[in-house]
Chain A
Amino acid sequence: METRFDKTAEILFELKVEDAMKKDVITVGPGDTMTMLNEAMSKHRLSGVPVIEGDRLAGIISISDLIAWLMSGGKDSLVKDWMVKEPQCLFSDQPLIHAIKRFDQLRFGRFPVLDRESGKLVGIITNGDIILGTLRKLEHEYNEEEVRQYRASHFFQDINADRIDLSLSFTIAGKDFENAGNASTTMKKNLKRLGIRPEIIRRTAIASYEAEMNMVIYTSGGTMTFNIDSEKIRIVAKDSGPGIENIELAMQEGYTTAEPWVRELGFGAGMGLPNIKKCSDFMDIQSTPVTGTTVTIEIIIGADNEA
């Protein structure tokens, strides 16, 4: 209970008046008649309306002022004769907790909200807006918390076995540029959920993407398998051909055998394998024209894998 309260208090400090206020404000002019105000208030179901003169806030008029006018006979008269002049206002950049205190102190139903610099009216806020704004924020935080909990951030510590080896596989279709990169983006999300350190995720994402794109660009497809244990991430990208003719050349930056149309899309610049090499702690390529190519990549997770 106490943590929840702390969280709420934190949110009320974090949220600004502008996050909860209504931005589309219906206003009246000081020279408008009370009859017009009456119609506007009942049409839009308003309990209070700011009075604007030029671009300046001249006052505020509420349902109690309207009732006072009706009680006096509802004769022809102008808004400026019934409005509250120089009303108490809030600034849009004030924390919501400040607004709550003002509501508490002054017992008003609403506050006009001004921009601190220009002094212009930018919104209006009621107690109801504060409740709604807070609930929205709470819901958002709750959703994020759920995602966070979903990540088994201490996965390898929490699961007991002599050896844990998590294996995830993806089928990669050759020449399928539509879905190219999906395996790597999915894996990046998986690694986040596992609570792997961001730097390790970055390197894995790049190595994985390059291996995946190589398979899409040059081969008739294959599989990518990610093995994760407490020490390392191992990626095995295995295709069924046609194989790499000269691995040494292929490892040189700028060397490519990609067709022109592939290069126009920004692929095949001869940087893929060198990029993998840069991002990995271990890399091995086995390739023959018959069996195809198998690229093995390892990235050491390291001891300080907290997250």
Chain B
Amino acid sequence: MKLKEMMDKLGLELKSDSTALDAEVQHAYTGDILSDVMSHAKEGSVWITLQTHRNIVSVASLKSFAGIILIGGRQPDDDTLKKANDENIPILSTAMKTFEITGRLYELGIRG
């Protein structure tokens, strides 16, 4: 499923200026511990997290993630947004909590 489609279906709000919304997404990973994400998430995943600091963009860039979904209506820090725009990593936000957004993605056929 394209990232854009996922955003429409789940009502995810785009926070960054990213234009890379056509990426085909098959995988996702949920986690707040960066080393765990670095070690276990697949390339091209969307990443569900509550972390909002700019290092999430480094992790996303190093792992070539399709995007980052911030949960519980969390907002990215200003410097996180700036870095995300530089690296063209889409940052999305949802009011849903971790469990729900993860489940909804699973329903859409996204796997870990």
Interface residues of A (CB under 8 A from B): 177-178, 180-182, 184-185, 188, 202, 205-206, 209-210, 213, 265-267, 269, 271-272, 275, 278
Contacts and interface: CB of A to CB of B under 8 A. Distances in A.
Interface residues of B, number: 20
B79 interface: yes
Given A177-B53, A184-B62, A206-B62, A267 B35 contact: yes
Given A177-B55, A205-B62, 4 more contacts: A178-B54, A185-B58, A206-B39, A209-B59
A150 to B, nearest CB: 18
Contacts of B38: 206, 209-210, 275
B55 A278 contact: no
Given A177-B53, A185-B87, A269 B62 contact: no
Contact of A209 (B43, B49, B54, B58): B58
A60 to B, nearest CB: 31
B24 interface: no
A265 B63 CA distance: 18
Interface of B: 32-36, 38-39, 43, 49, 51, 53-55, 58-59, 61-63, 79, 87
B2 to A, nearest CB: 15
Interface-centre pick from B32, B34, B35, B39 (highest chain A CB count, 10 A): B35
Contacts, number: 59
A185 B34 contact: no
Contacts of B63: 205
A256 B61 CA distance: 25
A177 B21 CA distance: 28
A181 B87 CA distance: 13
A265 B36 CA distance: 13
Given A202-B43, A265-B51, A265-B53, A181 B58 contact: yes
A182 to B, nearest CB: 7
A181 B35 contact: no
B58 A266 contact: no
Contact of A188 (B34, B39, B54, B62): B62
14 contacts: A178-B54, A178-B79, A180-B55, A181-B58, A181-B62, A182-B58, A184-B58, A185-B62, A188-B62, A209-B62, A266-B32, A269-B33, A271-B35, A272-B35
A184 B53 CA distance: 17
A14 to B, nearest CB: 14
B70 to A, nearest CB: 13
Contacts of A209: 38, 58-59, 62
Interface centre among B38, B49, B63, B87 (most CB of A within 10 A): B38
A271 B36 contact: yes
A266 B36 CA distance: 9
Nearest to A198: B43
Nearest to A188: B62
B36 A269 contact: yes
B61 A275 contact: no
A156 B39 CA distance: 30
A285 B62 CA distance: 24
Contact of A185 (B33, B36, B61): B61
B87 to A, nearest CB: 7
Contacts of B51: 265-266
A209 B63 CA distance: 11
B104 to A, nearest CB: 23
Nearest to B79: A178
A188 B38 CA distance: 14
A116 to B, nearest CB: 18
B90 to A, nearest CB: 17
Contacts of B32: 266
Given A265-B53, A266-B51, A180 B58 contact: yes
Contacts of B49: 266
Given A178-B54, A278-B39, A213 B62 contact: no
